[in-house]
Structure 1
Amino acid sequence: MKNVTIYTGPLCNFCDAAKRLLARNNVEYKEINIATVDGAMDEMITKANGKRTIPQIFFDDNHIGGYDDVRALEKENKLLELLK
């Protein structure tokens, strides 16, 4: 199983939705809150090729995208396959 990292922020409905989606698929993840972790926003922007919106989701070092991207993978039944 790949390591999943999700960069989140305060009062972010898409972040909450992404975490619920991962939880309902029994996916463990590491959450990094860009508002409380020093340097996390810069790290996220660098890893996400300049994307500044949250959430940003990574499987190992592969950038998956935001909530809509992960939801699309789930709808296409590709999410769990990508995590193997």
Structure 2
Amino acid sequence: MPKIEVYTQPGCPYCVRAVRLLSSKGVPFEEITALHGTAERTAARERSGGRTTVPQVFIDGRSIGGCDDLMALERSGQLDPLLQVA
């Protein structure tokens, strides 16, 4: 299984949507709370190449992007292979 990390912020509807999709896939992932001004938010920005919004999703260290990017991968059928699910 790939290592999946999701940087989120409480109350963010896009974060909820991304987490819900990953949960529905039955894959384990780490949800990292990344509030404005925290080291976690800085890490998310640096790892994503400067993106400042949440969620930020990483699969095996590779930046996938945010919620819209994750949903686009799902619609195109490209998410399951990344998550290694049937």
Aligned to 1:67: 67
Aligned residues: 83
Q: TM-score, normalised by structure 2?
A: 0.90
Opposite residue 70 of structure 1, the aligned amino acid is L
Percent identity over the alignment?
A: 36
Q: TM-score, normalised by structure 1?
A: 0.92
Task: Give 1:83 shift.
Answer: 2.2
Following the alignment from structure 1 to structure 2, what is the Cα–Cα distance between the partners of residues 28 and 72? Answer: 20
Matches within 5 A, 1:2-81: 2-35=2-35, 38-81=38-81
Local SS of the residue matching 2:72: helix
**Unpaired stretches in structure 1, ≥5 consecutive residues:** none
Aligned-residue CA RMSD (Å): 1.4
Task: Give 1:35 shift.
Answer: 2.3
With 17-26 and 27-36 compared, the bigger mean Cα shift is at 27-36
Following the alignment from structure 1 to structure 2, what is the Cα–Cα distance between the partners of residues 3 and 74? Answer: 18
Runs of 4+ in 1 over 4 A off after TM superposition: none
**Unpaired stretches in structure 2, ≥5 consecutive residues:** none
